[in-house]
Structures are given as structure tokens and as C-alpha cells.
Amino acid sequence: MSFVEKVCVLGAGSTKYGKLADSIADITTQASVAAIESAGIDPKEIGASYISNVFGIADKQVHIGPVLMSRLGIPDKPSLTIESACGSGSVSFREAYANIAAGFYDCLIATGVEKVTHTGTEWTTTYFAYCSDFFYEGQAGASFPGLFASMARAYLTEFDATEEDFAAVAVKNHDNGVLNPKAHMQKKITVDDVMNSAVVASPLKLYDCCPFSDGASSVILCSEKFAKEHGGDYVEVIGSGRGGSPAALQGREQMTTIPSTKIASEAAYKMAGVTAKDVDFAEVHDCFTIAEVVDTEDLGFFDKGQGIQAIREGRTKLNSDISINPSGGLKSKGHPIGATGIGQVVEVYDQLTGKAGERTVKDAKVGLTHNFGATGASCAVHVFQSV
Amino acid sequence: MSIEEQIIENAKEGKVLTHKCTSCGHLHLSTVYYCQKCGSKGFEDAILDGTGSIATYTIITVPPAGFEKYTPYAFAVLQLDNSELRISGFMGGIATPDDLPVGTRAKITGFDERGIIIEKQ
């Protein structure tokens, strides 16, 4: 593969994640304006938009792209809305990345959004299950917590792990989220809090699960030439990879590994010319505590079955061996599913340009984002470095 | 009959309809149209007994719409006998993990509004 242009992230912004009162169009615009102002660009410099969203229908607005472009004063500019379940954001980022790398555009905006909390738990549980391989999974009563709970039970059966170990992932991510003013769940929790919370899908309890969140995140991508001419803070995208997995858990060789993560990260590392050891911090897809354990193994940070030991020893805490989810992750920061993958890039931008405040990963040069759809049926991984 | 309808009819008989690749012999659930191993499109039907052991499962207490009246219930992944294939389904009457240790012998017994039905053997 050869590309015409190096790609950079020139600006980033997010709404708060949580239960938001404003409409989906409003929050999409708020995050986009924040990213434009962060980049210090004129909206007219934006060539097109990539919008990631799954359930716009819940807030009576699909085809959000043209609405955003109209509100940004550039109704003549094209947009594309992308759905890839909970991985929509990273896929949208990848499409924007590819279009700049190929030389089609100098500057693009990628904005992710979700607005679902007003629909209630039954609606979200029901509709999110449509992201599974429905004939085999959703149709038989599987919820998303249920699918990851099945992965968790497989992990407990295969490796030396306990439910308390999974709980430690939630505790760590809440510790980080307390330091993030945009986080949905800005409160510390204990292992006992997790263990005593209501069972959602055994063995996963409420505090093993990320919340349903509203929120929007946005980034400005551009060519290196554009970034240099512009003069603001920027970070470089040095690796981009995508991968797929059998859609249903039942079809995977091992139910404790997500193949798409391995495929996507191997591609991204190769393009970046780095290995997992070179990564200083990572925003990984911790929709459930088990997911973070599996992710850190599939991304190559720990050997298979050792991710749980790393959690036990605190090796993934902020400013330890490798800081995993300094933002608080999906678990504490929140999971507005269309926005999550873009929100991870916002965190990397803030970290690598010195804007992460109290949760700064010290001396970080290389950051990674990992975001997947459904039980990892689709995945994108990106690697970034400071300039 | 569509392929999904054929799977359902077989499930009602306690069977699993699979596709065996005529080029490399790899076995798939019959919703697969091209071999995931060799890419070939030639398949022959192979009907397996829907018996096996529970590979993993969860007990759902916060259900999607339509499953409230069955809660709690298990969503289970069944490892089929004499095959590397697994298939998922609904198991009623499971309230605690003690009711269903991993490895429990189970079989497909039907299909209804709860999808493929699995019961303990």
C-alpha cells in the first residue's frame, strides 16, 4: 500500500457523555463546533463529513450529515453516515483517514453521535441486540450483556480468573473517569460495589457493564501539509487497520479471543512500524469488563490468559506499565455507541497535545485506539504519535 | 424453503442442518454460502444430531422485549457432538449457575418465538 498523504488530527471536541437533554442534531453540532474551534479552522475549509451513528431513528433524525453541514454553514459539502454498531466511530474515522491519505481531500470532519437514553432500558436492550447475528443470537433471547457474559464464562472456564478480577477492571476505569470532566459516571467504585450490584446477565453484574449514554465527539483530520501550514497542535496517524470476525460467538475458534482485534491491530502496527511494546497508552473497547481483559490480550499487550493477571497486579492503571483507558473507557466515560470510536481519538489528541489535565499519561508519545462493533464482529485500530 | 426455514424445520426435529464443503470437507452451519476455509461454493447437506455439551452460557435477568415472561432464562452455546461446530439457543428453567455447569449434556428440541430451543439431556 502506498499513500499520497500523511494524515493528522488537527482538532478534537466532545460533548459531555451521559443523559443529555439536547436533540441529536444539537449535540452533533456542539461537538463538531468544538472540534472546529480546537483546530482553529474555518468550516469552509472542510471538504466533507463522516458521521457515525446507529440509532438516529430513536431521536427522529437519520441522515444527520446534511443537517450538520447546514448548521455549519456549508450545506453544499457532502456527508456520509456510517453504521457499524458500537464500532461505527472508528470505522468513520478510518474512512475519513483513507480519503485524506488517498489525496481526495485536505481536511475532513468525522463526528460520532448517539442519543438513546430517553428510550429506556427495554428499548435499548432490545434494539442493541439487533447488532448481533440475530438468527442465532438475538432471536434466542441474547442481550449484549448476555453475549459478553457468555464470553466471560468461557474465560472463567478456560483461565485462572474470578469475577472479582473482572470487577477490578471497572474499579480502575472509574478511578480514571473521576479525572475526566466529560465522563458519564464520574464516581469511584469498589470491587464490593461491583460484586453487590444487580446481576444483568450472569456472571456480569450492572457495574461490569458500561452505561447506555448520549453524547457526541468530533475530530478534524487533515493532510500533514495542511496541518503544518495551519500551525495548531496536531498529532499524526501512523497506523490504521481493520478486521472482521465471525458474526456470532459460536462461530469463533476460541470464544475468549476476538479475531478482528488481532487482524486490525496487526495491520495497524505494521503500517506504523511499531509493536505493542511501543504503545504508551490505549483507549480500548471495554463495553464490559471481560472485553477489556480480552482486548489487552488480543492487542498484544499481554499473552493470552495473562490479561487478568495484569489487572490483578495493577499493570494497566494510569501511569503504570501501560495506561489502559485513561479517559475512563466506555465503562466510566460512557458509551454513546456511534460516538465512542471518535471519542477515543479525542482522548488520544488531548493526551498527545498536553490537554488531558489530571489524567495525563506522562511522557506519552504513542497512543492507540481500539473500537469494535457487536461482539467484535467488526473492528478498527489506529495508532497515533505526537509531533 | 429459505435456508433459515430449513434450519428451523430441522431444529424442530432435533437436528442441525449443516453444509459440508465438497472441495475441502469443512463443515459449516448452513447459513454459510461460500466455504470459510477454501472459498468454494460447492456444498452438500449434512444433517447432524442436535446433541452436545454446553460450551458457555449466560443467565439473563434483564431481557430484551418479548422475553420478560421467560426470565430468568439461559442463552447457551452448544458444542455439537462429533463436530467442531457450535450452535446457540434458548434454555428455559435455568435460574442459577448451579443449574447448568459448563459441559452439561444438552440437545436441541425445537424452535419457536424463543429461537432454537435447547434442553438438558
Residue of A121, A150, A200 lying closest to B77 (CB–CB): A150
Residue of B62, B75, B96 lying closest to A140 (CB–CB): B75
- Count Cα atoms within 13 angstroms, Cβ side, for A225: 7
Least Cα separation, residue B83 to chain A (angstroms): 12
* Cell numbers describing residue B59: 443467565
Report the chain A residue with the minimal C-alpha distance to residue B64: A126
- Count Cα atoms within 13 angstroms, Cβ side, for A105: 24
Is pLDDT of A154 > 80?
yes
Query: Looking at residue A212, what DSSP letter applies?
Result: B
What pLDDT is stored for residue A1 in this prediction? 54
B51 sits in which H/E element: strand B51-60
Cα distance between residue A85 and residue A375, in whole Å: 10
A285 is catalytic: no
CATH of the domain at A32: 3.40.47.10
* Cell numbers describing residue A264: 486490525
* Number of domains, chain B: 1
What pLDDT is stored for residue A5 in this prediction? 85
Task: Identify whether A62 is part of a domain.
Answer: yes
Q: CB of A28 within 8 A of CB of A79?
A: no
Question: For the whole model, what pTM was predicted?
Answer: 0.97
Cα distance between residue A293 and residue A329, in whole Å: 13
Q: Which domain holds residue B83?
A: 3-120
Classify burial at A138, counting beta carbons within 10 Å of its beta carbon; exposed 0-12, middle 13-18, buried 19 or more.
Answer: buried
Is pLDDT of A4 > 90?
no
Among candidate residues A304, A291, A324, the one with its CA nearest the CA of residue A149: A291
pLDDT digits (tens, 9 = 90+) for A230-267: 989 999 999 999 999 999 999 999 999 999 999 999 99
* Number of domains, chain A: 1
Among candidate residues A364, A115, A136, A105, the one with its CA nearest the CA of residue A247: A136
Is pLDDT of A8 > 90?
yes
Q: Is A247 on the interface with B (CB under 8 A)?
A: no
Mean pLDDT value across chain A = 97
Q: CB under 8 Å to B16, separation ≥6 — which residues?
A: B7, B10, B29, B47, B48, B49, B50, B80, B85, B87, B108
Rounded percentage of chain A residues whose pLDDT exceeds 70: 99
B48 sits in which H/E element: strand B43-49
State the alpha helices, DSSP H only, in A20-131.
24-39, 64-71, 88-101, 121-128
Confidence of residue A2 (pLDDT cuts 50, 70, 90): low
Cα distance between residue A353 and residue B22, in whole Å: 56
Helix, strand, or coil (residue A376)? coil
Is pLDDT of A386 > 70?
yes
Task: Identify whether A72 is part of a domain.
Answer: yes
Q: Which domain holds residue A13?
A: 7-119+212-230
What pLDDT is stored for residue A338 in this prediction? 98
What pLDDT is stored for residue A231 in this prediction? 85
Cα distance between residue B109 and residue B120, in whole Å: 10
Is pLDDT of A3 > 70?
no
What pLDDT is stored for residue A28 in this prediction? 98
State the alpha helices, DSSP H only, in A197-339.
224-230, 259-272, 289-298, 307-312, 329-333
Report the chain B residue with the minimal C-alpha distance to residue A130: B64
Out of A335, A370, A379, A382, the active site residue is: A335
Q: CA quadruple A254, A255, A257, A259: dihedral positive or negative?
A: positive
Strand A323-324 and strand A281-283: the pairing is parallel
State the alpha helices, DSSP H only, in chain A.
24-39, 64-71, 88-101, 121-128, 144-158, 163-177, 191-196, 224-230, 259-272, 289-298, 307-312, 329-333, 340-352
Confidence of residue A68 (pLDDT cuts 50, 70, 90): very high
B55–A126 CB contact, under 8 Å: no
Q: Output the CA angle A244-A88-A332, nearest 5 degrees.
A: 105
Mean of the pLDDT values across residues B88-107? 97
Task: Identify whether A35 is part of a domain.
Answer: yes
A143–B61 CB contact, under 8 Å: no
Mean of the pLDDT values across residues A15-26? 98
* Cell numbers describing residue A284: 480500548
For A100, phi and psi rounded to 5 degrees? Answer: -80, -45
pLDDT digits (tens, 9 = 90+) for A288-344: 999 999 999 999 999 999 999 999 999 999 999 999 999 999 999 999 999 999 999
Cα distance between residue B38 and residue A272, in whole Å: 31
* Cell numbers describing residue A146: 448476555
Out of A8, A86, A209, A222, the active site residue is: A86
Mean of the pLDDT values across residues B82-103? 97
Total count of residues recorded for chain A? 387
Q: CB under 8 Å to A195, separation ≥6 — which residues?
A: A163, A164, A167, A205
Q: Is A135 on the interface with B (CB under 8 A)?
A: yes
Q: CB of A57 within 8 A of CB of A242?
A: no
pLDDT digits (tens, 9 = 90+) for A92-126: 999 999 999 999 999 999 999 999 999 999 999 99
Mean of the pLDDT values across residues A124-146? 96
Residue of A121, A151, A154 lying closest to B62 (CB–CB): A121
Per DSSP, what are the bridge partners of residue A17?
none
